[in-house]
Amino acid sequence: MMLDQLIQGLGIRVVRGDAARARVSDLTEDSRTVMPGSLFVARRGLSSDGRKFVGEACVMGASAVLSDDPALPTPGSVVLCTCDDVALTTALLAERFYGNPASSLFLVGVTGTNGKTTIAHLVHRMLNRCAVRCGLIGTVQIDDGREFADSSMTTPPAIELSRTLATMVESGCRAAAMEVSSHALAQKRADALCFDVGIFTNLTRDHADYHPSVEHYLDSKRRLFSLIKPDGLGIVNADDPHAHRFEAARLARCSLSGRGDWRAEIRSQTVEGMDLHLTGPDTAARCSAELFGSYNAMNVLQAWIATREALRRLGGAALLPRLEQASLGLKGPPGRIERVSGPADDVAVLVDYAHSPDALQNVLGAVRAVAGGRRVCVVFGCGGDRDRGKRPQMGRIAADLADRVIVTSDNPRHETPGRIVTEIIEGMPPSVRSRIEVHVDRRAAIGRAIGDARRGDIIVIAGKGHERVQILPDPRGEGGLIEVPFLDSEVAGEALKARRGKTPEAARA
């Protein structure tokens, strides 16, 4: 595409060069990926400034540079363009360059502190079960229609986002379910997209290291609903106190307590899963999932409504009957109350991503509800270089809701693990600290939790969920970080295998 056609009508100014003669073959914000014909976006980021790499991008063959700085030095052969809002303009450029793929997909966006991953996965799963090819973008995985790949962040940067949506369209997808993080919304990564459905899950404490206030965090989440199409649907958790701040022309209010026009009732639940009865305006349905807990009942309800809306809009009477069968036996995503133990084990082991106070309380509360008198054990830590204020809160929640608490490392990053552990324990009442175990080595902590458990115990390993590495300080002391392979479910599986290898007499009664 010629540069003058690409930038037309987007408020971009050509400072130097001839846009009509510059061909753009690629968009990138990473100078290391520049190829001949690339348009290099040189913008200020949180940890680096792309303007410092303009020279490198030009040497690599960039045909144009976009920035907010008209004084950037560039060769005469490279067109220099400027704009007032680089983040927004980049998103608009990406959609245009990749053929406006979002307009060819039924787009479901999910935002909120907790539940985004589960809801996006459930929508993805139900639509594909209904023979509607649906892509997925989220914290755990990306399904671009061609293959599944591990995700590096919840919502990709704007260029990668539009590129992925374009691949979905090329691969025959008719819909896409995506998580839209507060970071992405604040940074306008999704501002070029128009959503058919926007979902708000809840808002509790998280990312206080990034958002300067709760109001800023809330406003970032609310941006998603401003991106819903005029005839689109907003779905809100009416039981959340912030729900009234989310508005849409069409609004589905979901509740477990009778506050909304859509409701979910838990008919039965165990540690293996739950059966739900869903009701809405002139609608009733049964749903079952290998999940449990009231928060997951809300996740299922919101995902079900979004899926129903997609089927109604994409195929109407031909597709809606398929939803009944597609709603049975639903599985959650990896690392979300994921059961690691099996029929041969005398303890139940669950791995969950809960890494905020509300998430930990929800998970432990849900486990308590199905424990039936069995002991509940939790293994958890808190990430380094992140919100320190939540550490004592999570310590108090663990002490209140678990019979056995093992505090360990999460991803300490640049911080000393011992300091993080100390701040967690500070939130626990002095009367219970004597029964708190500390094993800074996460592998050892998981091993002790499972190896020393009593028969029938339920063990929750919280904080990292699906993550495949542990981020640690570089032992060479150079201020860097290293990533060590570590997956909670695999480590727990090894510990369960060792426990099964013990003689019955060695296992605790």
For 376, the 3-state DSSP assignment is strand
CB 333 within 8 A of CB 350: no
Instruction: Give the relative orientation of helices 357-371 and 294-314 as an angle to the nearest 10 degrees.
Output: 100
Environment class of residue 9 by beta-carbon count within 10 Å: exposed (0-12), middle (13-18) or buried (19+)?
A: exposed
Q: 416: how many CB neighbours lie within 10 A of its CB?
A: 12
What tokens does 458 get?
């339920």
pLDDT at 258: 83
For 133, the 3-state DSSP assignment is coil
Annotate 143-199 with DSSP letters as a single string.
E-SS-EEE-SSSS--HHHHHHHHHHHHHTT-SEEEEE--HHHHHTTTTTT--EEEEE
What tokens does 384 get?
């380094």
> Mapped to the 3 state alphabet, what secondary structure does 9-66 carry?
CCCCEEEECCHHHCECCEEECCHHHCCCCEEEECCECCCCEHHHHHHHHHHCCCCEEE
Rounded Cα distance, 335 and 339, in Å: 9
Please report which helix (H) or strand (E) contains residue 109, including its range: strand 106-111
Rounded Cα distance, 154 and 253, in Å: 25
Characterize the bridge pairing of strands 273-280 and 404-407. Answer: unpaired
**Distance, CA of 503 to chain centre:** 41
Rounded Cα distance, 152 and 138, in Å: 9
Please report which helix (H) or strand (E) contains residue 119, including its range: helix 116-129
Rounded Cα distance, 275 and 268, in Å: 5
pTM: 0.94
Annotate 448-482 with DSSP letters as a single string.
HHHHTPBTT-EEEEES-TT--EEEEE-TT-SS-EE
pLDDT at 434: 87
Rounded Cα distance, 499 and 13, in Å: 67
Q: Tokens 């307590």, residue?
A: 257
Domains defined along the chain, listed by start: 3-84 (3.40.1390.10), 97-326 (3.40.1190.10), 338-500 (3.90.190.20)
pLDDT at 191: 96
Quick one: which of 370, 354, 360 has its CA closest to 273?
Answer: 370
| Phi-psi map region of 224: left, alpha, beta (phi>0 left; psi -120 to 50 alpha) | alpha
Rounded Cα distance, 170 and 378, in Å: 45
Task: Walk along the chain (509 residues) in steps of 10 and give the mean pLDDT of each run.
Answer: 97 96 96 96 82 94 96 93 96 98 98 95 98 97 96 94 98 98 93 98 72 82 96 97 95 93 97 97 95 97 98 93 97 96 97 95 97 97 94 97 97 94 96 93 98 97 97 87 97 97 56
CA distances from 320 to 71, 100, 131, 145, 303 (A): 57, 28, 11, 22, 15
pLDDT at 328: 98
**Residue 172 CB partners (closer than 8 Å, separation 6+):** 133, 145
Rounded Cα distance, 42 and 65, in Å: 7
Q: Bridge partners of 111?
A: 200
